[in-house]
């Protein structure tokens, strides 16, 4: 403590850090209060729930792309995989969340471990194209097995989810459940970021060869990131299918993969918190802008280009910049 008092720069940083934590806690609490703000507006609460799922999904891609630099053009594969597996499990076996969701996540991790063992040996464009191919295969599988997946009509009639036997029907309960999963996933991701594993991932992103020189098993850790990313993506998909009571083949499309990538870029690649914001902002913006104009994709495309050129750090980068400026002025 005496060190802190003696060093004004450290003191300022420590107080800035305290402020940041307080601010983050405030935002987290505000997020938890959304159901109270949206009483009488059930649609808004539903949209907020969708946004939370999008945030989990965005976070799952950032676990891969942000941590290791591997760019996936087919992340929707895991989102759709999770939705269909969970939907089918709920329909055919049990709607109990504590069985359906873990089983789905484990299944996704297993498939990711097998496919990833081949994929993560590739770098750059090759990896990106192969992920796209993988998602297209999964997309095609929905139509091949249309008698169980429902084909083009999607998987319908997923029963109401239960938790410990209690059906979850209240929109508020659903929201809090999803929000809890998001906070837990984000906290875990941030914790890993600061751990030796997180540091090792970042060193791979920075320079895989140098990472090998200091003894890091680059392919092994890339595979771990790929599997964890797929598992969390499938978790988001499972929650979506149970929340909507349905799954559609669109969830596996290359368009969906592009959207997830936009969440991440919009929020700020590699920042974990940024993609969460990106997923939320995008979901609301998509809804409101698309209700104003059918040409909304054109605007979003333009916005995407603008972000990449003007603010490559995304929302998180812009906020961080503003924060540092404020701190600078406070001296």
Of 125 and 210, which CB lies nearer to other proteins in the complex structure? 210
Please select the residue that binds other proteins; options are 213, 291, 292, 294, rule is CB under 8 A.
Answer: 213
Which residue number, 251 or 264, has a Cβ lying nearer to other proteins? 264
Where do we find the tokens 């599997």?
Answer: 227
Report how far residue 160's alpha carbon sits from residue 288's, in angstroms, rounded to the nearest whole number. 28
Residue 210 within binding range of other proteins, rule CB under 8 A: yes
Q: How far apart are CB 270 and other proteins at their closest, in Å?
A: 9
User: Which of 214, 292, 309, 310 forms a contact with other proteins (CB under 8 A)?
Assistant: 214
Size, binding site for other proteins by CB under 8 A: 18
Minimum Å distance from CB 20 to other proteins?
A: 16
Distance of CA 101 to the CA centre of its chain: 16
Q: Does 36 interact with other proteins (rule: CB under 8 A)?
A: no
CB of residue 214 to other proteins, shortest distance in Å? 5
- Least Å distance, CB 312 to other proteins, is 12
Quick check: 271 and 319 in contact, CB under 8 A? no
Give which of 146, 165, 164, 166 is closest to 156, Cα–Cα.
146
Residue number, 165 or 196, with CB nearest to other proteins: 196
The residue (of 120 and 218) whose beta carbon lies closer to other proteins is 218
Contact between 243 and 95 under an 8 Å Cβ cutoff? The reply is no
C-alpha to C-alpha distance for 82 and 103, rounded to whole angstroms: 10
**62 vs 286 by CB, closer to other proteins:** 62
Q: Applying CB under 8 A, does 328 fall inside the site for other proteins? A: no
List Cβ neighbours of 177 (8 Å cut-off, separation of 6 or more).
163, 168
Rounded least distance, CB 328 to other proteins, Å: 16
**Which is closer to other proteins, CB of 155 or CB of 273?**
273
Q: To the nearest whole angstrom, how small is the minimum distance from the Cβ of residue 273 to other proteins?
A: 17
Site for other proteins in 186-205 (CB under 8 A): 196, 199-200, 202-203, 205
**Min. distance of Cβ 13 from other proteins in angstroms?**
9
Nearer to other proteins, 66 or 278 (CB): 66
* Residue 209 in the binding site for other proteins (CB under 8 A): yes
Residue 321 makes contact with other proteins by CB under 8 A:
no
Taking the least distance from each CB to other proteins, the nearer of 47 and 202 is: 202
Residues 216-255 that bind other proteins (CB under 8 A): 216-218
Is there binding between residue 206 and other proteins (CB under 8 A)? yes
Q: Which stretch binds other proteins (CB under 8 A): 59-67, 212-220, 244-252, 306-314?
A: 212-220
For 320-328, the CB contacts below 8 A with 24+ separation are 323/20, 327/12, 327/16
Q: How far is the CB of 105 from other proteins (least distance, A)?
A: 28
* Residue placing its CB nearer to other proteins in the complex, 203 or 229: 203
Give the footprint of other proteins on this chain (CB under 8 A). 196, 199-200, 202-203, 205-207, 209-218
């Amino acid at each position: 403590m005496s060190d802190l008092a003696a060093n004004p720069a450290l003191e300022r940083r420590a107080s800035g850090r305290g402020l940041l934590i307080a601010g983050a806690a405030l935002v987290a609490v505000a997020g938890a209060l959304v159901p109270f703000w949206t009483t009488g507006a059930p649609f808004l609460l539903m949209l907020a729930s969708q946004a939370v799922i999008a945030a989990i999904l965005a976070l799952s891609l950032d676990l891969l792309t942000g941590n290791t630099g591997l760019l996936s053009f087919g992340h929707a594969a895991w989102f759709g995989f999770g939705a269909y597996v969970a939907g089918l499990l709920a329909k055919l076996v049990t709607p109990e969340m504590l069985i359906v969701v873990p089983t789905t996540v484990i299944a996704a991790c297993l498939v990711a471990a097998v496919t990833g063992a081949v994929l993560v040996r590739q770098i750059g464009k090759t990896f990106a194209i192969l992920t796209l191919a993988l998602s297209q295969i999964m997309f095609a599988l929905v139509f091949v097995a249309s008698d169980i997946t429902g084909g083009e009509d999607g998987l319908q009639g997923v029963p109401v989810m239960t938790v410990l036997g209690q059906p979850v029907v209240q929109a508020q309960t659903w929201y809090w459940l999803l929000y809890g999963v998001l906070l837990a996933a984000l906290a875990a991701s941030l914790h890993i970021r600061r751990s030796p594993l997180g540091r090792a991932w970042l060193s791979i992103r920075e320079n895989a060869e140098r990472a090998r020189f200091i003894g890091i098993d680059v392919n092994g850790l890339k595979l771990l990131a790929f599997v964890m990313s797929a598992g969390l993506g499938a978790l988001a998909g499972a929650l979506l299918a149970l929340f909507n009571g349905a799954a559609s083949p669109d969830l596996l499309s290359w368009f969906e993969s592009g959207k997830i990538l936009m969440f991440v870029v919009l929020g700020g690649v590699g920042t974990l918190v940024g993609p969460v914001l990106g997923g939320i902002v995008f979901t609301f913006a998509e809804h409101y802008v698309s209700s104003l104009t059918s040409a909304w994709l054109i605007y979003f495309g333009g916005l995407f280009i603008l972000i990449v050129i003007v603010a490559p750090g995304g929302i998180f980068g812009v906020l961080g910049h503003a924060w540092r400026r404020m701190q600078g002025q406070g001296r």
